[in-house]
Chain A
Amino acid sequence: MQLYWLDILPILILGAGGLLVFCVGAFLPRRPTWLLFALALATALGAGLVAALKTPTHPSFLGMLDLVAYARFFGVLFMVITSLTLLLAHRYSQARGFAGDEFFALILYAALGMVLVAAATHWLIFFLGLELLSISLYVIIAIRRDTAVVQEAGVKYFIMGAVASAFLAFGIALLYAATGTLDIQASLSGWPAGAPLPVIMIALALILVGIGFKISMVPFHLWTPDVYEGAPAPVTAFLSTGSKVALFAVLVRLALNLGEPAWNLAWPALWVLAALTMAAGNLTAFYQTRVKRLLAYSSVGQMGYLLMALVAIKQGSLPALLFYLAVYALMDLGAFGMLGALSETREDLDELVDLQGLGYSRPGRSAILAVCLLALAGLPPTAGFLGKLLLFWAVIKAKFIILAVIGILTAIISIYYYFKVLVALYLRPASRALQIPRLDFGIGLAGATILIAIVWLGVNPSFLLGLITNISAILPR
């Protein structure tokens, strides 16, 4: 059997790049940070370019990996996220003394995990990709060894991740037992007569719990604020965008492939979970006084909006969902990234009070943070507005009016806490002098990219929307 290695070139590049970074770290004396960073960035950009430009010759690799446009879209998106994370984290990690080979290489391996998860059409590959992603994340969350909070966050994420994996493994095993196949599509639809539906539903519920942990779906979201708060800000940015987008890619794949009787049982549950996630995330964020916790709950709320669109997935909400996933990744990367860029070396900026006055003393970074917050709040002319518009359009078109109204109500609540951060940034006098590092090139470049992308996608998204519509057109409904 002929293997089409070139079809999975992005994955190969990522794997090799990670290995190379490790080797440089192991064999070169003094482990030059710039070289490690440059190699990692080149790997991510290279893989992204290949994924974007080179059309695979086959629709699938060994029946394990999806190579069609859907997987490619996510592949490119992950490489954008990874590149931006690397840019945001370079000086940050250097100043805080954890810019070693393990950091950069593990970011690449986490990215590889994301690509595998989003592309997997086989449960085993999915599980392996997820474990690769999770194990890399366990390490980079706890990478800063001089702070207890960071260690705590790492342990928490590890325990939660292990539990989630256990649920997933059990769910997959049950599904395998019930359907006799590990192929994702075959296991989810077209069951032979007499396939035990209750077992399948239990298996799906367990899988949903496992994924729910990872995407901070209510009620499995409680780890989110602690981990987000503890982890170094650029890592939080990576975690809150990359891993969530990857898991959502899977969730969408599962929902699209899920056959008729099971989906009819599944969507009411998703409906409730979406409403709960939107409400709980936004309501809890309302009370936060620490920015990272606030953004953590806000990202729970954002997951709720995405889940809301997932409910309507069979009625054609996929383009809206994909668009919002991409926009969400940019917004959250920008928000957490700029928080990291505005932080003192000793510990990350966290109290709302400490943000006061930064809008004037650090206008550039604050402006990007402000635009990201406005986008998260869904104000025009940002991409956040257009994304929300598309989501609500899709949901209303599918006649889930009550869900849309719940979504709007929680969005109104969310305005308050996003503006709370803006008030601190621009409306209050500085509380104390902060020793904020100078703006470096990497953060400047990443910030400018995010800013331009958010505004551009908000005003003229035709290109991305066209692309996404084409991607959605070839997927099963």
Chain B
Amino acid sequence: MVFMNPNILLVVIVFLPLVGSFLALATGKNKRLCRWTALTFSCIELGLISFIFFLDPQPHSGPTGIWLLAVDYPWLEVLGARFGLSLDGLSLMLLWLTAFLTVISILISWEVIQDKVGSFHFYLLFLEGCLMGLFMATDLLLFYLFWEIQLIPMFFLIGIWGHSNRVYASVKFVLFTFGGSLFMLIALLALYVIHGHQTGFYTFSLYLLAQTTLSPTVEAWLYGAFLLAFAIKIPLVPVHTWLPDAHTEAPTAGSVDLAGLLLKTGFYAFFRFAFPLFPGAARASIPLLLALGLIGMFYAAWIALAQTDIKRLVAYSSITHMGLMVIGLGIMNVMALSGSLLQLFNHGISTSALFVMVGMLDERLGSRDFTQMGGLWKKIPIFSAFFLFFAMSSLGLPGLNNFVGEILILIGAFKVRPVIAILAFIGVILGVIYILRMVQDSLFGEAHAEHNFEDLKPREIFILVIMALPVLYIGLHPGPVLKLFDSSIIHMLQQVPLLAQNF
């Protein structure tokens, strides 16, 4: 049946985790059953998405544009909103990442989360379902719906299972992201109304709205509202301040989802919505994006250098990475764009792995302050080896995943804006410094005598090994993944001819 119409898979992918989430909630009384239910559903989801890779759908033109797979069902006829989901290479990669990290989140929480197990897995799977929808929606109302709903599970994940200052962090998270989104809503409605006035036909379809003609002033205002919403999510300096708090207070699974998935939504939305909808304003904003990206890189690196809390340091390193990706977006040629999109995935894996390891350390040490660590290599060598591996991946060691993405962005940038490329390169070097300092202070040096704890358990080793596989795969053989983006990028550059000047 599925073979007859693979498009149905898209709907299944969105609703399967939602069904799973309610089952997990229902089985919450029995912790073991609940964990297995959640794990089963997330694994099936991952399997389904991997199955799409094997189906190897080819891009074809449909009523909503050129996509690999697409569905488009009537939904709110009165408003002209449709249940439209579409898949291209970028979406497919992000879907896979989402499913993968959800499995990881469930696995790492297997023993740590003992309290309110049912609701915990409910929120995790619910979040997964929302993100699946978000990464595929081609109807702006549907997109906005998923964009907003995902806040609620994340709010509770941070607020219930977080650390000491969790309430503050979760409320701050909600206010920042919600505030930005509401401006986007106004802009969205304005665009919808303008399109309706022009054509006499109200629709939320991305494909149709992108054909609206806007006066430059209006376009700039609308784009500005979208920019604000997405910049908060990415996050770009100066609207990043919710992120370190949210990360520091979130439970490990929360940090993984936050860094690995939620931050990606902002970038994805830029690429998928803001640019095609407002090409003129987007082009005008390129210097701004480049500046914000650079400022973000340097500022976050500078702050990261002063951190002694590993989790906060990794959080700031996240901002640095996102800054580089935004630069790639601003450079706007195929090479830099591919690099940026690949970095989305790399950052999702590497940073999540670091958060996972910080969480493991926190469980053993009861502290995340690396001035309190030192000499871990002698005591827990397996842990330390993995930690070193993911730290190297994060700073961009050749042969590992981040190197590929970073080098693509830097070379792509160098071709058109050498000054930016050099500055970005310095930013990357700064990243190397603080990561190395973290590694040195925690793994090497004098061991604290009072620390006595066991090395990784088989479950933990298993988690880290499966996280290490994509790191190595992309580091050594990035071709197939990069090929995924070709259609997305070409599609966008064609869709937005104004942007293709550097192409």
The interface of chain A, by Cβ under 8 A from chain B, is 360, 374, 379-381, 385, 389-390, 392-393, 396-397, 401, 404-405, 408, 411-412, 415-416, 419-420, 422-423, 426-428, 460-462, 465-466, 469
Chain A hits for B170, CB < 8 A: 423, 427
User: A380, B145: Cβ atoms under 8 Å?
Assistant: yes
User: A404, B167: Cβ atoms under 8 Å?
Assistant: no
Given contacts A380-B144, A396-B186, contact A426 B178 (CB under 8 A): no
Residue B482 lies at the interface, judged by CB distance under 8 Å to chain A = no
Given contacts A374-B152, A462-B78, contact A423 B159 (CB under 8 A): yes
User: B175, A427: Cβ atoms under 8 Å?
Assistant: no
Residue B179 lies at the interface, judged by CB distance under 8 Å to chain A = yes
Contact residue among B156, B178, B179, B193 (Cβ-Cβ distance under 8 Å from A393): B193
User: A381, B149: Cβ atoms under 8 Å?
Assistant: yes
B226 to chain A, nearest CB (A): 14
Given contacts A411-B182, A426-B160, contact A389 B78 (CB under 8 A): no
A157 to chain B, nearest CB (A): 34
A460 CA to B175 CA, complexed, in Å = 27
Residue B183 lies at the interface, judged by CB distance under 8 Å to chain A = yes
A465 CA to B80 CA, complexed, in Å = 13
Contact residue among A397, A412, A419 (Cβ-Cβ distance under 8 Å from B182): A412
Tell me which of A385, A404, A419, A422 has the highest count of chain B C-beta atoms within 10 A of its own C-beta: A419
Instruction: Apart from A380-B144, A419-B155, A423-B159, list 15 A-B contacts with CB within 8 A.
Output: A380-B148, A393-B193, A396-B186, A397-B196, A408-B183, A412-B178, A415-B178, A416-B171, A419-B171, A423-B167, A423-B171, A426-B156, A427-B160, A460-B76, A461-B76
Chain A hits for B175, CB < 8 A: 412, 415-416, 419
B14 to chain A, nearest CB (A): 13
B340 to chain A, nearest CB (A): 29
Chain B hits for A411, CB < 8 A: 182
User: A427, B148: Cβ atoms under 8 Å?
Assistant: no
Contact residue among B156, B190, B192 (Cβ-Cβ distance under 8 Å from A401): B190
Contact residue among B78, B174, B186 (Cβ-Cβ distance under 8 Å from A466): B78
Residue ID in chain B nearest A423 by CB atoms: B167
Chain B hits for A420, CB < 8 A: 171
Tell me which of A405, A422, A428, A460 has the highest count of chain B C-beta atoms within 10 A of its own C-beta: A422
The interface of chain B, by Cβ under 8 A from chain A, is 75-79, 116, 141, 144-145, 148-149, 151-152, 155-156, 159-160, 166-167, 170-171, 174-175, 178-179, 182-183, 185-186, 189-190, 192-193, 196
Chain B hits for A381, CB < 8 A: 145, 149
User: A427, B159: Cβ atoms under 8 Å?
Assistant: yes
A416 CA to B171 CA, complexed, in Å = 7
Contact residue among B79, B141, B152, B183 (Cβ-Cβ distance under 8 Å from A379): B152
User: B186, A408: Cβ atoms under 8 Å?
Assistant: yes
A360 CA to B185 CA, complexed, in Å = 33
Tell me which of B155, B175, B178, B183 has the highest count of chain A C-beta atoms within 10 A of its own C-beta: B178
User: B182, A427: Cβ atoms under 8 Å?
Assistant: no
Please name 30 pairs of A and B residues whose Cβ atoms are closer than 8 Å in the assembled complex, sorted by A: A360-B116, A374-B152, A379-B148, A379-B149, A379-B151, A379-B152, A380-B144, A392-B185, A393-B79, A393-B192, A393-B193, A396-B189, A404-B189, A405-B186, A408-B185, A411-B182, A412-B182, A415-B179, A416-B175, A423-B159, A423-B167, A426-B159, A427-B159, A427-B170, A428-B167, A462-B76, A462-B78, A465-B76, A465-B78, A469-B78
Chain B hits for A374, CB < 8 A: 152
Residue ID in chain A nearest B115 by CB atoms: A360
A401 CA to B193 CA, complexed, in Å = 12
Chain B hits for A393, CB < 8 A: 79, 189, 192-193
B169 to chain A, nearest CB (A): 11
Residue ID in chain A nearest B148 by CB atoms: A380
A401 CA to B166 CA, complexed, in Å = 37
A411 CA to B170 CA, complexed, in Å = 18
Residue ID in chain B nearest A428 by CB atoms: B167
A393 CA to B185 CA, complexed, in Å = 10
Given contacts A380-B148, A427-B166, contact A392 B159 (CB under 8 A): no
**Chain B contact surface mostly:** helix
Chain B hits for A422, CB < 8 A: 155
Contact residue among A360, A390, A392 (Cβ-Cβ distance under 8 Å from B186): A392
B128 to chain A, nearest CB (A): 16
A396 CA to B160 CA, complexed, in Å = 38
Chain A hits for B152, CB < 8 A: 374, 379
Tell me which of B148, B160, B182 has the highest count of chain A C-beta atoms within 10 A of its own C-beta: B182
Chain A hits for B149, CB < 8 A: 379-381
A380 CA to B144 CA, complexed, in Å = 9
Chain A hits for B116, CB < 8 A: 360
A360 CA to B468 CA, complexed, in Å = 38
Residue ID in chain A nearest B28 by CB atoms: A363
Given contacts A419-B174, A427-B166, contact A389 B159 (CB under 8 A): no
Chain A hits for B151, CB < 8 A: 379
A465 to chain B, nearest CB (A): 5
B28 to chain A, nearest CB (A): 10
B84 to chain A, nearest CB (A): 15
Chain B hits for A427, CB < 8 A: 156, 159-160, 166-167, 170
A190 to chain B, nearest CB (A): 31
Chain A hits for B145, CB < 8 A: 380-381, 385
Q: Which 6 A-B pairs have the closest CB atoms?
A: A427-B159, A380-B145, A465-B78, A412-B179, A408-B182, A397-B193
Chain B hits for A401, CB < 8 A: 190
Residue ID in chain B nearest A422 by CB atoms: B155
A401 CA to B170 CA, complexed, in Å = 31
User: B167, A396: Cβ atoms under 8 Å?
Assistant: no
A370 CA to B250 CA, complexed, in Å = 22
Chain A hits for B159, CB < 8 A: 423, 426-427
Contact residue among A380, A404, A415, A462 (Cβ-Cβ distance under 8 Å from B77): A462
B214 to chain A, nearest CB (A): 15
A405 CA to B167 CA, complexed, in Å = 29
A466 CA to B79 CA, complexed, in Å = 11
Chain B hits for A412, CB < 8 A: 175, 178-179, 182
Chain A hits for B178, CB < 8 A: 379, 412, 415
A397 to chain B, nearest CB (A): 5
A423 CA to B152 CA, complexed, in Å = 12
Residue ID in chain A nearest B162 by CB atoms: A427
Chain A hits for B75, CB < 8 A: 460
User: B148, A385: Cβ atoms under 8 Å?
Assistant: yes
Residue ID in chain B nearest A392 by CB atoms: B189
A109 CA to B183 CA, complexed, in Å = 44
Chain A hits for B79, CB < 8 A: 390, 393
Chain B hits for A460, CB < 8 A: 75-76
Chain A hits for B174, CB < 8 A: 415, 419
Chain A hits for B148, CB < 8 A: 379-380, 385
Residue ID in chain A nearest B145 by CB atoms: A380
Chain B hits for A390, CB < 8 A: 79
Residue ID in chain B nearest A415 by CB atoms: B178
Contact residue among B155, B182, B183, B193 (Cβ-Cβ distance under 8 Å from A396): B193
Chain B hits for A469, CB < 8 A: 78
Contact residue among A380, A389, A426, A466 (Cβ-Cβ distance under 8 Å from B189): A389
Given contacts A374-B152, A426-B159, contact A396 B190 (CB under 8 A): yes
Residue ID in chain A nearest B146 by CB atoms: A380
A460 CA to B81 CA, complexed, in Å = 11
A423 CA to B144 CA, complexed, in Å = 24
Tell me which of A380, A397, A405, A422 has the highest count of chain B C-beta atoms within 10 A of its own C-beta: A380
A399 CA to B166 CA, complexed, in Å = 41
A426 CA to B174 CA, complexed, in Å = 15
A393 CA to B194 CA, complexed, in Å = 11
A360 CA to B29 CA, complexed, in Å = 12
Chain A hits for B76, CB < 8 A: 460-462, 465
A247 CA to B116 CA, complexed, in Å = 45
Chain B hits for A419, CB < 8 A: 155, 171, 174-175
A385 CA to B171 CA, complexed, in Å = 20
